[in-house]
Amino acid sequence: MRTLTFKLIAAFVLVAALSVIVLSILISQATTTEFDMYLQHMGQGRGMMGGRGVAGMVSAIGAAEEEFLGNMRNYLWWTGVVAVAVALAIGILLARQIVLPLRKLAAATRAVAAGNLKQRVQVTSQDEVGEVAHAFNSMAESLAKNEELRRNMVADIAHELRTPLTVLQGQVEGMMDRVVEPTPERLTSLHDEIVHLSRLVADLRTLSLVEAGQLEFHPASTDVAGIARQIMSSAMAEAAQKKISVSTEVEEGLPPALADSDRLSQVLRNLLDNALHYTPESGQIKVKIAQTPDRQLLFSISDTGPGIPDKDLPYIFERFYRADASRSQATGGSGIGLAIVKQFVEAQGGKVWATSQAGKGSIFYFTLPAAK
C-alpha cells in the first residue's frame, strides 16, 4: 500500500542507499587506480621502481594490498547495511510521529462529518501537523457554535410565532362557534396580531438575508442630516402623543456618509422606534450626528427611558434577546430590531454599541464611514 509511512521510509532508505553507493564508487575509484598510483609513487621515491607513467605500468598492488582492499570493500558493505538499517529505523519512528496524528485527525474529521461536533483532537506538537490540529479544533468549535445558534434560532422563531398564533386561533375559533362576538375591537386586536406576525416574518427574512450576505447594499454619498430629519418627522406624531420631546443636532460642516440610504433609514427608524417604545410620557429623545477625528460619522440616539441593566447590555444586539421579556413582548417588539441594526451597520463598515444608566436612559451609538 502506498501509504505516507511507506513513502517516508522508502525515501529515507533510498537516500541512505544512494549515499553509500556513491561513496562506494568513489572509494573504489580511489582504491584501485589512485591507490595503485600512490604505491608506485612511493616505490619510485624509495628507488624500488622504474618511475614510468601510469599507462602501461606494472601494477604495484600485491597480495597484502589486495587483502587491504578486500577488507575495505567488506567495511563498505557493512557500512551500507548499517546505514540502511538506521535509515529504516529512523524512517519508521519519524513516519509514526507524523502519520499517527494525521490518522487521528482523519478519524476526527470523519466523526465531525457524521455529526459529532464535540469531536476535538489533541495538539501534541508546535509544527505544521500541530497547526493543522489547531485549525481543525477551531473549525469544529465554530461549527458547533453555529449549530447551537441555528437550533436556538429555530426554537426562538417557533416560540415567537406560537403566542400570536395561539391568540389568533382561540379568537377565530370562538367567533366560528359564536361564543365570541366579532366586535370591531376584537377584529382590530386580531388585525394587530397579524400585523405583528407579518413584521416578525419580514424582519426574520431581512436578518437571514443579511446574515447570509445576500442582501445587497448600495453605498453612495449620503446626506445623513436629511435622512435623520426625515425619520424624525415621521416619528413626530407618536412622540407628540406621548408628549415626548424629540430633537436633532447635526455638527456643522458634516461630510456626507458612504452608506446605503435605505439601510441607514432603517437603522435610524429601528433605534428611534425603540427609543419611543421605552421612553415614558414627557421624556426626551435626542439624535446627534458628529464627525470623529478618523473620518467616521458618529450617530447617537439617547432617550430618558428605563435604561438597560448592565448584565443585559452585551446581549441586546443578539436576535430575540429581550432585557425584560414581558415588557418588550407587551409593546409588540419583534426582538430582532437591534440585530438588524447591528448587521446593517457592520455590513457598511461601521460599529454599533450602547451605554445605559438604569433608571436614567440609554444611548445607542453607531458609526459609518464618511464619503471621500
Closest CB 307 distance from ligand ADP, rounded Å: 6
By CB under 6 A, residue 336 contacts ligand ADP: yes
Residues numbered 272 to 291 that lie near ligand ADP (CB under 6 A) are: 274-275, 278
Task: Report d(CA 245, CA 286) in Å as an integer.
Answer: 8
Q: Considering only residues 322, 346, 349, 371, which one is a binding residue for ligand ADP as defined by CB under 6 A? A: 322
Judge whether 362 and 308 are in contact, CB under 8 Å.
Answer: yes
For residue 265, report the phi and psi dihedrals to the nearest 5 degrees: -60, -40
Closest CB 341 distance from ligand ADP, rounded Å: 8
Give me the residues paired with residue 303 across strands: 285
Residue at shortest CB range from ligand ADP: 333
By CB under 6 A, residue 338 contacts ligand ADP: yes
Binding segment for ligand ADP among 80-88, 90-98, 179-187, 317-325 (CB under 6 A)? 317-325
Long-range contacts of 98-105, Cβ-Cβ distance < 8 Å, separation of 24 or more: 98/4, 98/8, 98/129, 99/3, 99/4, 99/5, 99/8, 101/125, 101/129, 101/130, 101/133, 102/4, 102/129, 102/132, 105/132, 105/133, 105/136
**Whose Cβ is closer to ligand ADP: residue 219's or residue 337's?**
337
Pick from 173, 148, 161, 143: which is nearest to 201 by CA? Answer: 161
**Whose Cβ is closer to ligand ADP: residue 200's or residue 289's?**
200
By CB under 6 A, residue 337 contacts ligand ADP: yes
Task: Report d(CA 37, CA 51) in Å as an integer.
Answer: 11
Residues numbered 297 to 316 that lie near ligand ADP (CB under 6 A) are: 303, 305-306, 308, 316
Q: Considering only residues 289, 333, 368, 370, which one is a binding residue for ligand ADP as defined by CB under 6 A? A: 333
Cβ partners under 8 Å of residue 180, min gap 6: 171, 174, 186
Give me 299's grid cell.
450617530
CB atoms within 10 A of CB 264: 25
Give me 95's grid cell.
513516519
**Whose Cβ is closer to ligand ADP: residue 255's or residue 332's?**
332
Closest CB 289 distance from ligand ADP, rounded Å: 18
Task: Report d(CA 132, CA 292) in Å as an integer.
Answer: 42
Site string for ligand ADP, 340-369 (x = CB under 6 A): ----------------------x-------
By CB under 6 A, residue 323 contacts ligand ADP: yes
**Whose Cβ is closer to ligand ADP: residue 204's or residue 336's?**
336
Closest CB 228 distance from ligand ADP, rounded Å: 17
Give me 41's grid cell.
609513487
**Whose Cβ is closer to ligand ADP: residue 101's or residue 337's?**
337
**Whose Cβ is closer to ligand ADP: residue 140's or residue 244's?**
244
Pick from 28, 18, 25: which is nearest to 87 by CA? Answer: 18
Cβ partners under 8 Å of residue 83, min gap 6: 16, 17, 19, 20
**Whose Cβ is closer to ligand ADP: residue 219's or residue 306's?**
306
Closest CB 206 distance from ligand ADP, rounded Å: 13
By CB under 6 A, residue 244 contacts ligand ADP: no
Site string for ligand ADP, 124-163 (x = CB under 6 A): ----------------------------------------
CB atoms within 10 A of CB 324: 14
Cβ partners under 8 Å of residue 10, min gap 6: 91
| Interface ranges with ligand ADP (CB under 6 A) | 274-275, 278, 303, 305-306, 308, 316, 321-324, 328, 333-339, 362
